[in-house]
Amino acid sequence: MIQSTTASAIKPLELVQPKINPAPATPSETVRNFGSFLKDAIEGVASQEQNAQKMGDKFLTGQVDMDQVMVASEQALLSLQLTSQVRNKVIEAYQEIMRTQI
């Protein structure tokens, strides 16, 4: 059975809905928004890794079961893999743009 410590750490995925702005965003606003989104995503990955570490420590003291530790570890691993794949795609897109002749 999942205890409340694990249930509170697991958050459901939320649908991202675009905000409707009456005026188009300036390039600096777009960069700032993307930068804050990227920062939040990386902080989320770091948070999941810290949660997995805490769950491992709690397992050693007998406070949680092994299945809870495995769930937290797999979540952290999947988040890290997703972040790595997104980074690879961004690098590929950048390289493709740089190869484009004007």
pLDDT greater at residue 41 or residue 11: 41
Name residues whose C-beta falls within 8 Å of residue 64's C-beta, 6 or more positions apart in sequence.
3, 5, 6, 55, 58
CA nearest neighbour of 37 among 21, 19, 55, 62: 19
Name residues whose C-beta falls within 8 Å of residue 5's C-beta, 6 or more positions apart in sequence.
55, 58, 64, 68
Look at residue 4 in the predicted model and tell me its pLDDT: 46
pLDDT greater at residue 85 or residue 35: 85
Look at residue 74 in the predicted model and tell me its pLDDT: 96
Phi, then psi, of 62 in degrees rounded to 5: 85, 15
Domain boundaries, the chain: 39-102
- Residues 73-98: what's their mean pLDDT? 93
- Residues 15-23: what's their mean pLDDT? 57
Q: 61 to each of 43, 55, 57, 58, 76, how far by Cα in Å?
A: 27, 10, 7, 5, 21
